[in-house]
């Protein structure tokens, strides 16, 4: 039988062999013709080209007309190190098009800032010996604190943080899974038919321009890739993970359950049921 095996990895197999986590004999059996795909940060000339391509993709999707990137946006895209590679770039452009109400995308829309201005990107590379999952969990907790604090600052205009999170996580999860519905549905633990219906409804809201978010909503939100990886490592659906983080933060606040339910976007009985496992 004539067979060909294609194998791919984002790990350093030689390093894994040295620590005993990968079989040396298997490595040499597989390593007949190796093709190395450099990380996005190692292909700086491709970043703007890819960004412009996905800008057109999301322009069509949301029915918008954006005439490209401002100079500071291009500088920010080039300065950022892209730890999440192409998937992170796709999410950043997606988010930028959603937020953009101007003729061009700027660095604020993207949530990135040029390093030459003395600022760091929204998610700089960390060199501490801390797992990526732990970093993402910390950022998720910090983000929840910020958003709940903003919401509680104006009780009369208290938003529904839960539905906002669901909408944006669904869109970003679709983007991070290259719009493959069944993969996104699996990550979200949601029936494909339900996800298809929700995606259509959410995108219509964005096209109609009836979606509003706090100023720091996207710039401080953990990357979706990080959240997806965290959910996978915990064997927990993405939406459930983020909802529980929000409930945990709400429970730490001196507010009535009725107000907490409003922030989560659910009824009071539903909120009490959801908070029960965390009590």
Q: Report yes or no: 156 and 205 within 8 Å, Cβ to Cβ.
A: no
Question: What pLDDT does residue 278 have?
Answer: 74
Q: Convert the pLDDT of each residue in 103-161 to its tens digit.
A: 888 877 887 755 433 334 444 433 333 466 777 788 888 888 888 888 888 767 667 78
pLDDT tens digit string along 182-230? 988 988 889 999 999 999 998 888 777 777 777 667 666 676 667 777 8
Contacting residues for 272 by C-beta, under 8 A, at least 6 apart: 257
Q: Please tell me the distance from the alpha carbon of residue 113 to that of residue 73, in angstroms, as a whole number.
A: 8
Euclidean distance between CA atoms 83 and 143, whole angstroms: 19
CA distance linking residue 88 with residue 83, whole number of Å: 8
d(CA 203, CA 199): 6
Instruction: Summarize the confidence of residues 172-181 as an average pLDDT.
Output: 78
Identify which of 8, 16, 14, 12 has the alpha carbon closest to the alpha carbon of residue 33.
Answer: 8
Higher pLDDT, 87 or 226: 87
Query: Would you state the pLDDT for residue 220?
Result: 66
């Amino acid at each position: 039988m004539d067979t060909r095996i294609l194998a791919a990895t984002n790990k350093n197999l030689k390093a894994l062999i040295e620590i005993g986590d990968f079989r040396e004999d298997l490595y040499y059996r597989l390593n007949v013709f190796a093709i190395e795909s450099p990380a996005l940060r190692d292909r700086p000339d491709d970043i703007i080209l890819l960004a412009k391509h996905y800008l057109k993709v999301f322009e069509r999707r949301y029915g918008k007309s954006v005439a490209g990137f401002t100079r500071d946006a291009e500088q920010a895209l080039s300065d950022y190190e892209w730890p999440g590679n192409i998937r992170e770039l796709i999410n950043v452009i997606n988010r930028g098009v959603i937020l953009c109400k101007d003729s061009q995308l700027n660095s604020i829309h993207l949530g990135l800032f040029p390093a030459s201005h003395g600022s760091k990107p929204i998610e700089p590379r960390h060199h501490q010996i801390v797992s990526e999952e732990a970093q993402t969990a910390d950022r998720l907790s910090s983000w929840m604190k910020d958003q709940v604090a903003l919401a509680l600052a104006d009780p009369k205009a208290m938003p529904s943080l839960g539905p906002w999170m669901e909408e944006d996580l669904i869109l970003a999860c679709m983007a991070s899974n290259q719009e493959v519905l069944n993969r996104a549905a699996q990550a979200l633990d949601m029936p494909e038919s339900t996800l298809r219906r929700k995606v259509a409804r959410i995108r219509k809201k964005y096209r109609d321009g009836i979606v509003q978010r706090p100023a720091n909503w996207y710039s401080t939100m953990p990357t979706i890739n990080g959240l997806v990886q965290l959910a996978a490592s915990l064997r927990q659906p993405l939406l459930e993970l983020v909802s529980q983080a929000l409930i945990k933060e709400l429970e730490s606040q001196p507010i009535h359950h009725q107000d907490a339910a409003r922030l989560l976007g659910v009824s009071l009985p539903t909120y009490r049921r959801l908070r029960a496992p965390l009590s």
